[in-house]
Amino acid sequence: MVDIKNIPQEEMVEKVRGYAKENFRKGLNCAESVYAALCDAGLVDFPKETVALATGFGGGIGLSGGVCGSLAAAAMAVGAVHGRRDPAQGSFDEIVDKLYGNPGLYRFFNQLPHRFEERFGSTQCEVLNKDYPSWFDKDRFRKCMSIVIDTAGMAVEMIYQGADEGFNQPFGKNMAGKQ
């Protein structure tokens, strides 16, 4: 894994955005494009073959229109860096506190879908693509490419943020009613 302390965030964002664009142009789906870009940049230290885990997220999980594959892949990549490598380690209370506490991982990860929705208007692939007459429309492809590129950059920003700030952020809207 690359040492992000030695590479300015802006430089890494541009590098990863370029990789994501190149990946999408080659025919990788949205999720594969984002995740592979973060692997190619050395931010994810899992084997490159783990991009296979992202494949099913394309088109909102197998073209079902659910959560955008770019967003899912960004969460995967950020999790590869900041997620729990051994989640069952510790007592029940310690395990749960690492997620819900302050600091807590859910506080950190909660930001990603909120940033995405603020930027693009929805987290759902079907909503993001509702204005296009066909999935194969060139304008839809260009819009998705833009989302792929921007989301790859967001993932880099989150990776740097977690390294700099830790996991003390306030919660955004969440299902547990946490603040």
Contact 162, 109 (CB under 8 A): no
Whether residue 80 has pLDDT greater than 90: yes
Instruction: Tell me whether residue 178 is in a domain.
Output: no
For residue 107, being part of any structural domain is answered with yes
Among 105, 107, 113, 108, CA closest to 87: 105
Is pLDDT at 69 greater than 90 in this prediction?
yes
| 50 within domain boundaries | yes
Q: Does 133 reside within a domain?
A: yes
The count of domains in the chain is 1
pLDDT value of position 3: 87
Does the pTM surpass 0.85? The reply is yes
- How far apart CA 141 and CA 147 sit, in angstroms, is 10
Whether 94 is covered by a domain: the verdict is: yes
In whole angstroms, what is the distance from residue 118 CA to residue 83 CA? 24
Domain holding 38, by residue range, is 4-165
Give CA separation, 1 vs 45, 96, 143, 165, in Å: 5, 28, 31, 19
